[in-house]
Structures are given as C-alpha cells and as structure tokens.
Amino acid sequence: MSLPKPVMRGLLGRRLRFHLPIAFALSIVAAAAFKYTVTEPRKQAYADFYKQYDAVKEFNAMREAGIFESVRPSGE
C-alpha cells in the first residue's frame, strides 16, 4: 500500500545529461563519415580528372559528334 514516492523533479535535466553527449557524438560521427566517404573521394575524383584533361582534344571529339551548332564537324 505504501509505494516509494516517484522522482518528481529534474527529469528534463536528467534526460539532457544522458542524451546530449550522445547526440553530439553521433552528429560528429555522421559529419566525419560523410566527409571521408563523400567529399574526400569527390575532391580526389575531380583532381584526377583534371590532371590528364586536354580541353582541345575533348572539344574536337564533341565537334565531330555533331552536337555544336556554332561549329559543324570538320567534314561538312
């Protein structure tokens, strides 16, 4: 018949003390994961692409394919 009195105060504070460090840690982990799985590989991909990029060669290939309107393929 006599139950112990339940905790009436400090409930939000207790919840925050528990959940905030977890929230911060998970956010940092998420950001780090995104950085190292997405942004760094993407930066590397762009660097590799432009290392061997010859703009004139690409332009001539596109011209021969006939996609430009200002300059037609060299045969015409």
Cβ distance to other proteins smaller for residue 24 or 59: 59
C-alpha span between 28 and 30 (Å, rounded): 5
Q: How far is the CB of 74 from other proteins (least distance, A)?
A: 15
Cβ distance to other proteins smaller for residue 27 or 48: 48
66 with 76: CB under 8 angstroms?
no
Cβ distance to other proteins smaller for residue 22 or 49: 49
C-alpha span between 35 and 39 (Å, rounded): 5
Residues that bind other proteins (CB under 8 A): 42, 45-46, 49, 58, 61-62, 65-67
